[in-house]
Amino acid sequence: MTSDYPAPLIIPPRALPHKQTFILLHGRGSWAEKFGPHNHPQGQTPGPPPPPPTTTTVQTLAAAFPHARFVFPTAARRRATTYRRAYAHQWFDNWKLDPPATDREELQMPGLRETTAYLHGLLRAEIDAVPGGAANVVLGGLSQGCAAALVALLLWEGPPLATAFGMCGWLPFAARLVEEAVAGGGRGDAKGKGDDDDVEEEDDLFETGEDESAGEDGTEQDPTVTAIRWLRDELELFGEDVHGRRMGSVFQQTPVFLGHGVEDDRVSAILGRNAAACLETLGVRTFHFNEYEGLAHWYSGEMLRDIVKFLKMSTRWEEG
């Protein structure tokens, strides 16, 4: 499965020792060598760190974190339905992103399944390679790379990451995840509810007297667990605990930053807002969403500076 993913572009720290690792995902139709140079000046070698940048002058993540290793994976080439099934580097296939982007969501499933498994393997490898482990690993992405990173984060079962961030992206299945979380807070399965609201319920011959929303151990199922379990089942990614008792806790402990251009005509800012609302519903503890006036489908120096500030506030990393 992962043989379809080219080897990542690895850019070593500008200054030693190695302290952090960023895994950054490109958007659809791009690849590591095209996306990476925008975030890291090429040709840098380890050496004395430059003067500490300020939040008003830092332009790249590499300048802000000279001890960071940057990993730029490349998506597998898949047929893109919206481009007449032409091959393109994409983390998953998807239909048109007109808000709320809920049409033909099934197109996303095969690619998201493979990409999530691939990214989890990459996360494990980088966690093992960096001093301090997961607390010094950041996962981020642009556009579809943001979408893939968020799904991988939601289904991550390892230790909490330092931070995750997304730029001009969206969250696949956001509306359904909110529905599952809300339904999980009540009794029973939401499937089919609402059809017979005005009909008196007859006795169930097979009624057990147990709350259907409870887990196998009889405890009340957490609404977030219900939503994450649904996503895992849909993507057929079964972890160590397929009943979901552990699901829904790890990603909540990972701080998340989302930034979106108000003038984005490829991925509407509405989808960014929907992603933000979904993550808040799912209980992400440290979260920030910011919109940028005059910005289209890309990132800006202001957005990068905000990401840097968020990273420094949500981690215990030393300056520089």
Give pLDDT tens digits for 108-131.
889 999 999 999 999 999 999 999
Full strand arrangement of the beta sheet holding 68-72: 9-11, 68-72, 20-25, 137-142, 163-167, 256-261, 287-292
38 close to 14: Cβ distance less than 8 angstroms: no
Residue with tokens 């302290």: 19
Radius of gyration of the chain (CA): 21
Mean pLDDT, to the nearest integer, of 246-266? 88
> What pLDDT, in 10s, does the model give residues 153-204?
999 999 999 999 999 999 999 999 999 998 865 534 444 444 444 444 444 4
Spell out the long-range contacts of 300-308 with Cβ–Cβ below 8 A and sequence spacing 24 or more.
300/261, 301/59, 303/167, 303/259, 304/58, 304/59, 304/60, 304/61, 305/55, 305/56, 305/58, 306/257, 306/259, 307/61, 307/140, 307/165, 307/257, 307/259, 308/55, 308/58, 308/61, 308/64, 308/65
The tokens for 234 are 């849909």
Task: Determine the pLDDT at residue 283.
Answer: 92
DSSP 40: S
**Which pLDDT band, with edges at 50, 70 and 90, does 248 fall under?**
low
The pLDDT score that the predictor gives to residue 98 is 83
The pLDDT value recorded for residue 196 is 47
What pLDDT score does 106 carry? 84
What is the model's pLDDT at position 26?
94
Quote the pLDDT of residue 61: 85
> Taking the mean position of all CA atoms in its chain, how far away is CA 103?
20
Q: Which two tokens stand for residue 30?
A: 């791009």
Between the ranges 44-48, 215-219, 304-308, where is the mean pLDDT highest?
304-308
- Residue 35's pLDDT is 85
pLDDT at 135 over 90: yes
Angle (CA) 46-52-58 rounded to 5° is: 95
What distance separates the 2 farthest-apart alpha carbons in the chain? 76
pLDDT top residue among 185 and 284: 284
Could you tell me where the beta strands, DSSP code E, fall in 240-306? 256-261, 287-292
The mean pLDDT value for 262-291 works out to 95
Note the pLDDT of residue 39.
Answer: 54
Which domains are seen in the chain, by residue range?
A: 2-169+250-314 (3.40.50.1820)
Predicted confidence band at 100 (pLDDT cuts at 50, 70, 90)?
confident
Among the listed residues 193, 91, 205, the one whose alpha carbon sits nearest the alpha carbon of residue 141: 91
Mean pLDDT calculated for residue range 219-227: 75
pLDDT score at 185 = 59
| Residue 273 φ/ψ, nearest 5 degrees | -65, -40
Do you find a cis peptide bond into 8, omega within 30 degrees of 0? no
200 or 298, which is more confident: 298
pTM confidence score: 0.80
Task: Give residue 220's pLDDT.
Answer: 53
Pick from 216, 23, 254: nearest CA to 138? 23
